[in-house]
Amino acid sequence: MNTFKALNLHKANAICYSGFRDGQHPGGIHPSTEQIKEDLLLLEGHWKYLRLYDCDLHSKRVLDVIQKNNLDFKVMLGAYIVAEMNNFECPWGGGVYSEEQLEKNKIYNDKRIDTLCEWANQYDEIIFSVSVGNEACVNWTDHYVSVERVIELAKKTKNSITQYVTFCENYVPWIHKLKPLAEIVDFISIHTYPVWEYKNIHESLNYTIQNYNAVKEIHPSKPVIITEAGWATNSNGRGIHPEHVNEDNQSIYIHALMDWTKKANILTFIFEAFDENWKGSPEPLEPEKHWGLFKANRTPKKIMTEILEKNKILTD
């Protein structure tokens, strides 16, 4: 299925964007309007579709910068819903909360969805789709929400806006537990990370294709897009073998991924635009910090240098 055609979109590149720089983090200091504009000007012309993760100050500033400067982007806006259930299977032990906190989280999530709908209506010319959560149903998440609750939030959102509604999740739950949700959303959004599953670079693209096809076979009549796929460039050995990650392997995987999804007409958001050093543990080689196509200081990695050079040749 041509997912661009199914969603009435122009065929173009897509990328996940979170602009938090060194010394900044969600809940703390946010990127300024000028910093966001600087980032978006680095991305404009190479990426048309942006994925934003939450209805927070950062996303509000991104939407305002796009609107004020008439930048050529369309946005998938997310609402980052938090834990409404304890998840004792979370491998880092972060999925357990008091009953009082879980009740507060439910109220928070309702308000987040209200904001998602409000902004979708306010920025209807920029936002082409919304996601009612991110990785909240997979068995290792630290912000676990029941499938029934996500369905409730998706229905509420669909009744409040005109844009497409989805839910972004690892590919595995879409094969089994998310079948009822698949009937509600307008399209399915999957995440696929071969390197997190100990695949080497030679196995990587075939494994991503297997992940995608596994979901597509279960839901043949529903558009399936990829909202996260990428390759880290550093690792401290926790979850990812260090020998598997570097800029060369990132370049190989991203090029192969983009070639395949372009030919297959699958809207695919590369994860991610910029390294984010606030993520994960304090260790500098924590993998979560090193998925960007640009480093945290905004210098391009090998893959982005190659993309910039290719696009320069095409436009000269």
pLDDT confidence tier of residue 312, bands split at 50, 70 and 90: low
Q: Would you say 204 and 194 are in contact if contact means Cβ atoms under 8 Å apart?
A: yes
Average pLDDT, the chain: 97
Query: Nearest to residue 228, comparing CAs of 17, 7, 11, 3?
Result: 17
For the stretch 97-142, pLDDT in tens is 999 999 999 999 999 999 999 999 999 999 999 999 999 999 999 9
- Could you write out the DSSP letters of every residue in 120-154? HHHTTTTEEEEEEEES-SSTT-SS---HHHHHHHH
Query: In the beta sheet, which residues pair with residue 166?
Result: 131
CATH architecture of 3-315: Alpha-Beta Barrel (3.20)
Each domain of the chain, given as residue ranges in start order, spans 3-315
For residue 211, give the amino acid letter.
N
Does the pTM surpass 0.75? The reply is yes
Q: What percent of the chain has pLDDT over 90?
A: 95
Identify the helix (H) or strand (E) that includes residue 260. helix 247-264
197-228 residue pLDDT tens: 999 999 999 999 999 999 999 999 999 999 99
List the beta bridge partners of residue 300.
294
The rounded distance, in Å, linking the Cα atoms of 87 and 144 is 6
Confidence of residue 310 (pLDDT cuts 50, 70, 90): confident
Q: What is the spatial distance between Cα 212 and Cα 260, in angstroms, rounded to a whole number? A: 12
pLDDT in tens, 275-309: 999 998 899 999 999 999 999 999 999 999 999 98
CA distances from 306 to 22, 25, 202, 228, 234 (A): 25, 29, 20, 21, 19
